[in-house]
Structure 1
Amino acid sequence: MTRNTDVVVVGGGATGAGVARDLALRGVDVTLVERGGLSSGTSGRSHGLLHSGARYAESDEVGARECIEENRILKDVAGECIRDTGGLFVQLPDDDPEYFEAKRAACEEIGIPVETLSPEEAREAVPGLSEDVVRAMEVPDAVVYPSRLVAANAADAREHGATVLTDAPVEDLRVEEGRIVGVDVGGAVDEEIRAERVVNAAGAWAGKVAETAGVDVEMRPTRGVMVSVEHEGLGPVLNRTRDPDDGDIVVPHDGEVVLGTTSVEVEDPDDYETAEWEVENSRAECATMLPAVRDAPEVRTWWGVRPLYAPDEDSRHGARGISRGFFVLDHADEGVENLTSVVGGKLTTYRQMAEATADRVCEALGVDADCRTAEERLPGADDPETLDSLVEEFGGAGPTDEDVVGR
């Protein structure tokens, strides 16, 4: 069987679903294909932090501005996909006070709301916070439930005419005379799709997808562990006020907190080792902020793989204090004129990544239509039950938010 469409989007994570939604809202006929359930890759295996930009403020102004802009947009349009917790950056005795001051000044310059709290004020905001806290700064971090977010984007794409196919692994991108002439999809779909354009939004797997079309997208994925432990009553996200490192984020959930994370390069995003030291290190480091988590009962542990783009990593020498930029790549100079890849980035900026990609695709198709995703609310945004039914329909439940989705 052969299916015809304007654009095939490969990858059903936040970025792929966001691209499909954006294009569909502009009147483009889109087919989204995902090899498993939606958000089964990186998006559904994150720590679930919606960045305010404060993490990157002093080291990467552009990345921080992207984060605070998208943070505000998602709080407006995503409803129950977001939990607006706020965040604290906590300074401990071993942390450089000049780093705290530089981060605060950068937040003020960028326009990220920030307020300094005394140790007493910080412990009042967070019962159980370490007695060693020197001071803290309050920022508008939040928690995102990626399973809901991805499903809602896919549902809106479908409401505007897109086709969403799960259990649909891409087996081949067939190239003839400099163009992809067919996308061979296996799994439960088992058909050929013909399209004017193909978007590779496969995240950490983008290099593998590109390889099937004979082009090179050099990825450098890293794994990171998330440990969810029992803990009641944490309000804001906690961040350590130091250069980003292992075990410096604590994300609140209902009756749980998620501790993270590590960063270890892997060769294959489908086949990689995990190590107990990552769990132990995350617990120990996060316990310097919130001592009770050191010995708290474990609820679940999972690893995710970051979709890092190798040339970007090389340019910043692997520094974790610099926000991961995103890149929209055209492959005409490699002999495939109708393939676009979007790589890098982070969950917080998925909508912006999708907009930039959709702009590029629409230009190639001759479609003159503006992006609407920053203004239009996601379907079901105000109804958790609707969102969770969409997650179930698209097979998108992931470990990041499994304690919330479907309760």
Structure 2
Amino acid sequence: MHETTVLVVGGGATGVSVARDLALRDIDVTLVDRDALAAGTTGRSHGVLHSGARYAERDPDDAADCLAENRLLRDIAAGCLDETGGYFLQLAADDPAYFERKRAACADLGMAVETLSGDELRERVPAASPAVERAFAVPDAVVSPARLVVATAADARDAGARLYAHSPVEAIDVSGGHVDTVAVGGRLDAMVDAEVVVNATGPWAERCAALAGVDVPMQPTCGVMVAVENPGVGTVLNRCRPPADGDIVVPRGDEAVLGTTSVAVDDPDDFERPRAAVERVLSECAAMCPALAERAVERTYWGVRPLYAPDEAVRGDARSISRGFALLDHADAGAAGFVTVVGGKLTTARKMAAATADHVCERLGIDRACRTAEEPLPGADDPARLDALVAEFTVDAPADGR
């Protein structure tokens, strides 16, 4: 028997952030994941630290969260970031009214919005297409999922958390309306006795919840990332149009990562990976940066978004599902002590974890404040230390490149 106060299931950015937050509050916490750390959605994202501009006109609350966390992570996790900046580009075929709405929504958030003509943009980004008519600058950045996850995990471990990769949850026993024990295989290979179980398994949240006999309606969507030789792009390029396939270019050293698609899938482990999707992303991104069309595809990887979809009516339109997060307590469903946190994005993982830890503390009757917004992560100013941690932990993050 492995005893712990809180068991966190899921070793992506959200799960390790929950473990860190709780450990810094001196709460006994154990984290398990069936695979390596970051092996799910986190390590297969495009790795953009969002400014919030992408969501500004259609979900200003989520956009505000992104902007706040974007600024905060620059203080506590600078070694995990590449300060590339970003631009939203209006091409000749794009709706100028949408550009105006997007720019105004960003300004309403308190974002410093600098508008450039097409020629001014090309002076800064020579690889940008002649079809770019205007652009505006946003404080996007590029984040290393591997560094961010291991820095968070290391801080959790240093604060007393116990972390077990390659330790899948096999069963959850609910007795008398409360979570009793959790059977974990793999490296931990134990029955876990926990007062609270946090389901932070991303696209697999519905499956994990089903083990406890509760429903978490999900609509996971898959997307492909296409890596090519970087033609000289040093900043994040976003197409200024409603979200669509192939609307972002992310610089990662000598690679440019192009994204992405959004297709609803039934099984986050088993879905089609059509070559046509790769070609579509490459073609669409080349509209922003024509030299991309001349680059051979060096590698591809596919990620699955953990979209919470309680409204069946929106599941047919994957791009209309909110990218915000949900925190669910399943006590009313007969599983007290079982909590799910789902949705969100890499940029807001710390905030999601803080809300989850606050809720767990309330359920445990513990009054201890969150410290994660003030405490720098290990290696915040030391990239070499971060890379040593990446080598130490078991990590699977193709978003970080070759």
* TM surpasses 0.5: yes
What is the distance in 1 between the residues matched to 2:33 and 2:40? Answer: 10
Superposed counterparts of 1:327-366, under 5 Å:
327-366=326-365
Q: 1:359 to 1:148 in 2, by over 3 A?
A: same
**CA apart distance, 1:311:** 1.7
- 1:181 is matched with 180
- 2:59 is matched with 60
What is the distance in 1 between the residues matched to 2:49 and 2:312? Answer: 22
What is the distance in 1 between the residues matched to 2:111 and 2:321? Answer: 17
What is the distance in 1 between the residues matched to 2:166 and 2:401? Answer: 20
**CA apart distance, 1:295:** 2.3
Whether the 8 Å CA contact 1:125–1:235 is kept in 2: the answer is no
- 1:265 is matched with 264
What is the distance in 2 between the residues matched to 1:151 and 1:139? Answer: 27
Superposed counterparts of 1:217-236, under 5 Å:
217-236=216-235
Q: Residue type of the partner of 2:373?
A: A
What is the distance in 1 between the residues matched to 2:133 and 2:242? Answer: 17
- 1:100 is matched with 99
**CA apart distance, 1:394:** 2.1
- 1:84 is matched with 83
Q: Residue type of the partner of 1:358?
A: A
Aligned CA RMSD, in angstroms, stands at: 1.4
**CA apart distance, 1:300:** 1.1
- 1:193 is matched with 192
What is the distance in 2 between the residues matched to 1:169 and 1:146? Answer: 22
- 2:294 is matched with 295
Whether the 8 Å CA contact 2:219–2:315 is kept in 1: the answer is no
- 1:141 is matched with 140
Structure 1 runs (4+) deviating above 4 angstroms are: 312-317
Q: What are the superposed Cα offsets for residues 9-57 of structure 1, whole Å, 9 maximum, x if unpaired?
A: 0000000000000111111110000111100001000011111011111
What is the distance in 2 between the residues matched to 1:298 and 1:108? Answer: 37
Q: What are the superposed Cα offsets for residues 198-252 of structure 1, whole Å, 9 maximum, x if unpaired?
A: 0000000011111111111111101000000001431210000100100000001
What is the distance in 1 between the residues matched to 2:323 and 2:311? Answer: 8
Whether the 8 Å CA contact 2:76–2:376 is kept in 1: the answer is yes
Is the deviation greater in 74-83 or in 197-206?
Answer: 74-83
Q: Does 1:242 align with 2:241?
A: yes
Q: 1:321 to 1:250 in 2, by over 3 A?
A: farther
Q: Residue type of the partner of 1:253?
A: R
Q: Residue type of the partner of 1:179?
A: H
- 2:308 is matched with 309
Whether the 8 Å CA contact 1:228–1:258 is kept in 2: the answer is yes
- 1:45 is matched with 44
- 2:279 is matched with 280
Whether the 8 Å CA contact 2:314–2:320 is kept in 1: the answer is no
Whether the 8 Å CA contact 2:53–2:106 is kept in 1: the answer is yes
Q: Residue type of the partner of 1:371?
A: C
What is the distance in 2 between the residues matched to 1:387 and 1:36? Answer: 21
**CA apart distance, 1:393:** 2.3
- 2:255 is matched with 256
Q: Secondary structure at the match of 2:132?
A: coil
Q: What are the superposed Cα offsets for residues 339-365 of structure 1, whole Å, 9 maximum, x if unpaired?
A: 000011111111111011001000001
TM-score normalised to structure 2 length: 0.97
What is the distance in 1 between the residues matched to 2:182 and 2:210? Answer: 13
Q: 1:316 to 1:192 in 2, by over 3 A?
A: closer
What is the distance in 2 between the residues matched to 1:246 and 1:190? Answer: 42
What is the distance in 2 between the residues matched to 1:317 and 1:91? Answer: 28
Is the deviation greater in 252-261 or in 291-300?
Answer: 291-300
TM-score normalised to structure 1 length: 0.96
Q: Residue type of the partner of 1:52?
A: S
What is the distance in 2 between the residues matched to 1:179 and 1:312? Answer: 27
What is the distance in 2 between the residues matched to 1:352 and 1:94? Answer: 37
Superposed counterparts of 1:314-329, under 5 Å:
314=313, 318=317, 320=319, 324-329=323-328
Q: Does 1:383 align with 2:392?
A: no
Q: Secondary structure at the match of 1:112?
A: coil
Structure 1: gaps (5+ residues): none
Give identity over the alignment, percent. 60
What is the distance in 1 between the residues matched to 2:372 and 2:186? Answer: 31
What is the distance in 1 between the residues matched to 2:256 and 2:313? Answer: 33
Q: Secondary structure at the match of 1:310?
A: coil
**CA apart distance, 1:314:** 4.3
Whether the 8 Å CA contact 2:264–2:318 is kept in 1: the answer is no
**CA apart distance, 1:323:** 5.1
Whether the 8 Å CA contact 2:249–2:285 is kept in 1: the answer is yes
